Amino acid sequence: METQKNRIFEIMNTEFSRYLSAQTDLDDDAIRRIESLASARSLRRKENVFQAGEICRHKVFVVRGLLRTFGTSDDGSEHILQFTPELNWTLDAESYDRQVPSRVSIGAIEASEVLLWNKTDFDILLKSTPALKILAEQIIARNMHYSRQRILMTLSATPEEKYAEFVRMFPTYLSRLPLRMIAAYLGISIKTLTRIRHAQLQR
């Protein structure tokens, strides 16, 4: 069992190394130092990294799989804020930065492999590794831009426009997500989503 865990960790580090090499000019020693502070975790389908009410204590990098960030209403309905596929980062920024209980959960949609850095270690890495800090700032800027675009879409677009934009932005998600999750992300009912998809098939 321990040998299998080590093998999985090695594979995850290899994928992460390739990602960092493609995104930054970090040398091998710097990449190994970043990797050395990470812990590896395998998530079962529907297993949470953490859940609402807990503090988000880690930066999360998805090596394989697909995660979602979501909140749940009092009536049990789910509202999905974000999907995070492989080779992407995720966290609840408010909970992580302020170290306060999160209002959302992050969980695996499919079996996933992730790397995690606790806040103390990652803050040290950002201070000591300028290239990693630049990458982190670029990711934050992209996320802020996308969040603003999504808010505008949510406030002004029709259900048909929301779905069309989703298909344009995330074509590979259609085969990986159940309809209820797509509806929960778009903020429409599954009945409406089914109607939209049926209408498209009739064209």
What is the CATH code of the structural domain delimited by 2-128? 2.60.120.10
User: H-type helices in the chain, by residue range?
Assistant: 2-23, 28-36, 93-98, 119-128, 130-156, 159-169, 179-186, 190-202
Strand order across the 48-50 sheet? 48-50, 105-108, 66-72, 78-85
Exposed, middle or buried by CB within 10 Å (0-12, 13-18, 19+), for 176?
Answer: middle
Exposed, middle or buried by CB within 10 Å (0-12, 13-18, 19+), for 153?
Answer: middle
Q: What is the pLDDT of residue 2?
A: 56
Q: For residue 185, which of 49, 68, 44, 47 has the smallest C-alpha distance? A: 68
- Per-domain boundaries in the chain: 2-128
Residue range 110-140, pLDDT digits in tens = 999 999 999 999 999 999 999 999 999 999 9
Q: What is the pLDDT of residue 170?
A: 95
Categorize the per-residue pLDDT at 9 as very low, low, confident or very high, splitting at 50, 70 and 90: low
Q: Check the CA dihedral 92-125-8-23 and report its sign.
A: positive
Q: What is the pLDDT of residue 51?
A: 96
Do the Cβ atoms of 181 and 109 come closer than 8 Å?
yes
Q: What percent of the chain has pLDDT over 90?
A: 87
Res. 1: pLDDT tops 80: no
Angle (nearest 5°) at CA 166 between 90 and 189:
100
Q: What is the pLDDT of residue 72?
A: 93
Q: What is the pLDDT of residue 74?
A: 85
Q: What is the pLDDT of residue 200?
A: 82
Angle (nearest 5°) at CA 62 between 47 and 109:
35
Q: What is the pLDDT of residue 164?
A: 94
| pTM of model > 0.85 | yes
Q: What is the pLDDT of residue 59?
A: 97
Q: What is the pLDDT of residue 109?
A: 98
Residue range 36-79, pLDDT digits in tens = 999 999 999 999 999 999 999 999 999 999 999 999 998 888 99
Res. 4: pLDDT tops 60: no
User: H-type helices in 45-129, by residue range?
Assistant: 93-98, 119-128
Residue 203 or 113, more confident: 113
Q: What is the pLDDT of residue 184?
A: 97
Q: Count of residues for the chain?
A: 203
